[in-house]
A and B are shown apart, each in its own frame.
Chain A
Amino acid sequence: MKVEEQAGLTPARPGASAPHSARSNGRWAGYRGLLTARMKELWREPEVVFWVFVFPLLLALGLGIAFRDKPAGVTSIAVVAGPGARRIINWLEASPQHAGIHADMLSEGEAFNRFRLGKYALVVIPQAEGGVRYRYDPARPESVLARAQVDDALQAAAGRKDLVATSSETAMEPGSRYIDFLIPGLLGMNLMNSGMWGIGFALVDMRQRKLLKRYLATPMRRSDFLLALSSSRLVLMLIEVALLLGFGMLVFHMRVLGSLLTILLIGTVGALSFGGLGLLTASRAQKIETVSGLINVVMLPMWVFSGVFFSYERFPAMLLPFIKALPLTALNDALRATILEGAPLAAQGTRLAIMAIWGGLSFLLAVKWFRWI
């Protein structure tokens, strides 16, 4: 009854999409499709590439250079001008420590001022009766050091004899430097960031776009969807581990003592744990603004307490049990123990359990509360 001639129509092509086509899909086609699509999407998102891959390397490079452990350089000290000042400088220049000390002669006001600004580590004030007074800051390591060095040099020049003959050797090895501490911490932090954003944010974004609803309108299995999302996290985790460790080894000659397999296992547990937390933050939120706030609230305490950039041992002892119960602390500790000390997996039971409990509980709650539509 409704056959009309229209311009611009697509002619009927018999068989082109006939109701019973020959194509057929296996059980895992949906999962594979979702995983491929997710990886493509991630790869095409410049922000993801930057934050997940480039940013941690930049951070490692920057902090590694800024806090590199250099041999103690030349320490500058000030000698307050006046009678005896010249003699002090001469003594210092003649002393065995002269290579490490540079002395300037200044007026008292000037010297104190520059000391306050950190230009000088120590001010030496000659006293009327031939003695000296030191002005130093006990809270500044280089100040304490300078005082000891200068005092040694002056006492020796004035005729003190060492009662015990000593000699020393130097040792500076990869494994105990700041960069060695830093890289596992950055890796842990990165796994947290990308897990929370990669799952939490991505899900709410899809919910907001009604894309989750659209997927539900197909025969897609919900479990395949979650599995694909987790798998994409694991693929990313592999790349993150390889990049950061490889970077540390190449650029900072870091030594990895533990087995790669153990490291990857820890990475997997960590990535899944944070994936679970990400899922939980995304379980009900309808707007990406809401989930962004939630993710930051969850991550903030871990940035501060979990020992990414400095050891959490610096916090008061009463906080330590709480700090150690955080999943990022467990992940960082486990990574450091394995990478830096070569600890075997068997020694990491508690830490793995902490991560598994966080991830597992979050996952269960998330599945219970999850809103697909």
Chain B
Amino acid sequence: MNNTGDVVVRCRNLFKTYDGKVEAVRGLDLEIRLGECFGLLGPNGAGKTTTIEILEGLLRPTSGEVEIFGRNWDAHQRELRELLGISLQETRFSEKLTVRETLRLFSNFYERPGSPEAVMEDMALKEKADTWVGKLSGGQRQRLAVAAALVGNPRILFLDEPTTGLDPQSRRQLWEIVRQFQQRGGTVLLTTHYMDEAERLCDRLAIIDQGKIIAEGTPAELIKRYCGQNMVEFAVTPALDGTGRELWQALPGVESVHEEDGLTLLSVREAHHTIPALLDAVAERGWRLVHLTTRQASLEDVFVHLTGRHLRDE
């Protein structure tokens, strides 16, 4: 991992207030390095789209600065547009143009575009090349949006929820496209609210909540920093209603305790030390375990740890 790579996208102290009242972004700093895939992770309304559109030069921040390759949107609009490939969270392309015509149109805007045929191949749209956009399925349109971002042959890709609405196979295809793009030296910024996607795809990520970054780092770092390595999940009878909190916190290796729906969640560094102690503590008091599982900690756990809420209500 190149932690010391050149910074290609940088923003400082970004604020965005809509209509003088909705504070969508409240003081945000980001640095995205050359060649990495950076993820913005957060629940609905967190400010992901607002942030990414400010970086894309499509929205003006209320205050704050944005720099891309050392250039800014006011002075270098055209140059920067040549370097960026963008897919918005929602675009409905002209329904009466075919996939191929749409991609040709977009490739016409760039000085040195990629080939629409190759991009269609990459995005598995070849079969639909001559189909009107109006007749594509939701997932195919989503892929077309990403294809339109790629066809300008960009150096940086900005993708706002590129995999929402895709089936698992298409999602994995998209991940692969992103990796290929990185291998050719490209830099990627994407937003998502899929934890597994962020964990597998992103080199680094920032978790955003209510317009602020609440944690930033590689997925592994974040998990380690906030949740230890493992999660131990259990329930006891009689129900304790939160009264056992201090007891659990005192067990060896426990980093944090979280309770929900009658379950207790411990994030622990080493499960093989914690679990015997847990079993002893329960037995000593004459309680009974009705449920016990351990698993690898995930970003979801990080989010729950940081905000006390789940990222998505499933």
Which residues of A are interface residues toward B (Cβ below 8 A)?
1-4, 6-10, 12-13, 16-21, 23-25, 29-30, 32-34, 36-37, 40-41, 44-45, 209-211, 213-220, 373
B34–chain A nearest beta-carbon distance, Å: 13
Q: Which of B88, B115, B124 contacts A23 (CB 8 A)?
A: B115
Assess the A373–B58 pair: CB atoms within 8 A.
yes
Assess the B118–A17 pair: CB atoms within 8 A.
yes
Assess the B179–A217 pair: CB atoms within 8 A.
no
The answer, yes or no, to whether B122 is at the interface (CB within 8 Å) is yes
In the assembled complex, the Cα of A24 lies from the Cα of B113 at a distance in Å of: 7
Assess the B108–A29 pair: CB atoms within 8 A.
yes
Assess the B58–A217 pair: CB atoms within 8 A.
yes
List B181-203 residues whose CB lies under 8 Å from chain A: 183-186, 200-201, 203
Which residues of B are interface residues toward A (Cβ below 8 A)?
1, 56, 58-59, 78, 81-82, 84, 86, 88, 90-94, 96-97, 101, 104-115, 118-119, 121-122, 124, 132, 148, 150, 152-153, 155, 169, 172-173, 175-177, 179-180, 183-186, 200-201, 203
Assess the A16–B121 pair: CB atoms within 8 A.
yes
How many interface contacts (CB-CB < 8 Å) are there between A and B? 134
Assess the B86–A17 pair: CB atoms within 8 A.
no
A10–chain B nearest beta-carbon distance, Å: 6
Q: Which of A2, A18, A32, A209 contacts B92 (CB 8 A)?
A: A209
Give 9 pairs: A residue, B residue, CB < 8 Å, sorted on A. A2-B200, A6-B175, A17-B115, A25-B108, A25-B109, A33-B108, A37-B105, A219-B78, A373-B59
A25-B113, A40-B101 as given contacts; A218 in contact with B152, CB under 8 Å: yes
A116–chain B nearest beta-carbon distance, Å: 55
In the assembled complex, the Cα of A19 lies from the Cα of B114 at a distance in Å of: 8
Which residues from chain B contact A6 at a C-beta distance below 8 Å?
172, 175-176
Assess the A24–B111 pair: CB atoms within 8 A.
yes
Which residues from chain B contact A19 at a C-beta distance below 8 Å?
153, 155, 184-186
Q: Is the interface of A mostly helix, strand, loop or mixed?
A: loop
In the assembled complex, the Cα of A219 lies from the Cα of B105 at a distance in Å of: 12
Assess the A37–B97 pair: CB atoms within 8 A.
yes
Which residues from chain A contact B121 at a C-beta distance below 8 Å?
10, 13, 16
A8-B169, A8-B173 as given contacts; A211 in contact with B92, CB under 8 Å: yes
Which residues from chain B contact A220 at a C-beta distance below 8 Å?
109
B239–chain A nearest beta-carbon distance, Å: 42
In the assembled complex, the Cα of A7 lies from the Cα of B168 at a distance in Å of: 11
Given A6-B176, A32-B108, A216-B58; 4 other pairs, CB 8 A cutoff: A17-B153, A34-B105, A217-B58, A219-B111
A2-B200, A24-B111 as given contacts; A17 in contact with B150, CB under 8 Å: yes
Which of A12, A24, A32, A34 lies at the interface centre, i.e. has the most chain B CB atoms within 10 A of its CB? A12
Assess the A10–B109 pair: CB atoms within 8 A.
no
B292–chain A nearest beta-carbon distance, Å: 30
Assess the B81–A217 pair: CB atoms within 8 A.
yes
B163–chain A nearest beta-carbon distance, Å: 14
Q: Which of A37, A213, A215 contacts B101 (CB 8 A)?
A: A37
A25-B108, A213-B91, A217-B86 as given contacts; A17 in contact with B173, CB under 8 Å: no
Assess the B111–A21 pair: CB atoms within 8 A.
no
Which residues from chain B contact A29 at a C-beta distance below 8 Å?
108-109
Assess the B122–A218 pair: CB atoms within 8 A.
no
Assess the B153–A21 pair: CB atoms within 8 A.
yes
Assess the B94–A211 pair: CB atoms within 8 A.
yes
Assess the B169–A7 pair: CB atoms within 8 A.
yes
Assess the B148–A214 pair: CB atoms within 8 A.
yes
A48–chain B nearest beta-carbon distance, Å: 10
Which residues from chain B contact A30 at a C-beta distance below 8 Å?
108-109
Assess the B177–A23 pair: CB atoms within 8 A.
no
